[in-house]
Amino acid sequence: MALRTLDSLGSLAGRRVIVRVDFNVPLKDGVITDDGRVRAALPTLNHLINQGARVIACSHLGRPAGAPDPKYSLEPVAQRLSELLGKPVAFARDTVGESAQEAVAALEDGDVAVIENLRFNPGETAKDEAERRAFAEQLAGLGDALVSDGFGVVHRKQASVYDLAEILPSAAGYLIEKEVDVLDRLTENPERPYTVVLGGSKVSDKLGVIAHLLPRVEKLCVGGGMMFTFLKAQGYEVGKSLLEEDQLDTVKGYMATAAEKGVELVLPVDAVVAASFAADADHVTADADKLEDTPFGADGLGLDIGPKTAELFADAIRGSKTVFWNGPMGVFEMDAFAAGTKAVAEALTDVDGLSVVGGGDSAAAVRQLGFADDQFGHISTGGGASLEFLEGKKLPGLEVLGWQ
C-alpha cells in the first residue's frame, strides 16, 4: 500500500488540522542555532494555510522527563515560525490543557497555533499503550484531521506519531512524502555507481545500515570515530582514538563481505591525530599505519580523516551518480578537525545525480560549515529515522499512514 498523502483528506478549509511536525531544533540560551527543521515544515504548513485550514502545529523538543521544563519550551520556535510565515502564530503554554483549548478555539481559517512541547506530557512517550492512547485521545480532541510531517520521529511508536494517526483521518505531509521518495530511491534501483559515506562516532550505531547497504553499493567510505575500529581490524594501532573492541569481529565480517561482493571499501589512509580532545590541542597528520608514531605516541587521539583520505573520499563521491552520506568525518565543531567533513560536503555539491545528506549531525555540519541546503539533492530531517529506513526496518509512523 502506498503512503496516504494530503490529497486523500479532501478539502481542509475551515477544519482544525493537527500537524505533527519535527521542531526539535538546537537551542542555545533560548535562541535557535539551526532553524532547518522549522523551514522544512513550511511547504506543508503554507499549503494548509492557503486552503483555509485552522492549523495546530505540535512537536517535541529535546528530552524533558515527561514534565514541563522551561529550557525545552517551544515558545522560541513559535516566534521563529511566525517570522518565516510572515503572520502571527499563537502559542499555547500546555499540550492539551486550558491554554491549548483556548488557542485552538480562537483560530480562524488560515490561522496557526503551536502547542507546547508534547514530551512535557508523559503520555507522549509512554511504553504503556493505554497511557499513550489516552494522551492521543486528548490530542485528537483538538482537531478534525492529522497531517503527519515529522519525519525525524516516524521510527518511534509515540502518541502523536502513531496512536493519533489511528484515531483521526490522517495523511503524510509534503516533507514525509519527499523523505520517503528519496530514501526509497536509495534502496530500490538507485542510479549507479552508488557510494555510501558513513562517519560519526560508533560502528555500533551503523551496524544495520552497513549490513543492509553493503550488497547494494559500489563503494562504502568509512570515516569519523568509527574508522578506528576498522583500522584496528586491519591490524593498525590507534592510540587513544575511539575504539569499539567488541565490534572488531563484526567489522572483519564486513570487510570479508565487501571483498566477496566486489564492493570497494574505502578506508582512511591517514588521520589528524591530536594530543587531547580540545579545539586548541597540538595535532599532526599521520598515515593510518603510523598513528602512534607521532609526538603523542600511544596517547594520541584521532579526531579527523587526513587530507589524503579526504581526497580519496571526494574522488569516490564525485565519480558516483547516487551518494548517501551520514555522519561527520571528524570533530567538525572544532575548526582544526573540520577539514574532512568539509571536503566530503564539497564533493557532494558536485555530484551529477542524487546527493543525500542523512540528517542529524551531518545536516548540522553542512550548515555550520557554510553550505546552503539547495547545494545538495536532499538534506534529510531525520538521522535515526533515515538510518532505520535504509536498514529495511518497519517504521511505525509510516506504516500507520499506509506505507508497506
Report whether pLDDT(359) > 80.
Answer: no
Tell me which residue has cell 539551526.
Answer: 34
| Residues ≥6 apart with Cβ < 8 Å to 290 | none
pLDDT tens string 78-98: 999 999 999 999 999 999 999
The reply, when asked if residue 119 is annotated as ligand binding, is: yes
Which fold, 6-178? Rossmann fold (3.40.50)
- pLDDT score of 264: 97
360 is catalytic: yes
The reply, when asked if residue 82 is annotated as ligand binding, is: no
The reply, when asked if residue 156 is annotated as ligand binding, is: yes
- pLDDT score of 168: 98
The reply, when asked if residue 22 is annotated as ligand binding, is: yes
**CA 151, 154, 22, 195 torsion-angle sign:** negative
Pick the catalytic residue from 360, 382, 383, 397: 360
Pick the catalytic residue from 39, 93, 185, 202: 202
Per-residue buried b or exposed e for 86-111, using 16+ beta carbons within 10 Å of the residue's own CB:
eeebbbbbbbbeebbeebbeebeebb
Which fold, 190-391? Rossmann fold (3.40.50)
133 is catalytic: no
Cell digits for 5? 498523502
* Alpha carbon distance 333, 24 (integer Å): 20
pLDDT tens string 116-150: 999 999 999 999 999 999 999 999 999 999 999 99
Mean pLDDT for 186-196 is 94
- CATH 3.40.50.1260 range(s) for the chain read 6-178, 190-391
Three-state DSSP at 345 gives helix
- Judge contact between 24 and 59, C-beta under 8 A: yes
pLDDT tens string 243-302: 999 999 999 999 999 999 999 999 999 999 999 999 999 999 999 999 999 999 999 999
Confidence tier at 1 by pLDDT (50, 70, 90): low
Identify which of 240, 238, 18 has the alpha carbon closest to the alpha carbon of residue 137. 18
* Alpha carbon distance 61, 116 (integer Å): 9
Pick the catalytic residue from 20, 37, 54, 132: 37
The reply, when asked if residue 60 is annotated as ligand binding, is: yes
Report whether pLDDT(404) > 90.
Answer: no
Query: In whole angstroms, what separates CA 364 from the centre of its chain?
Result: 9
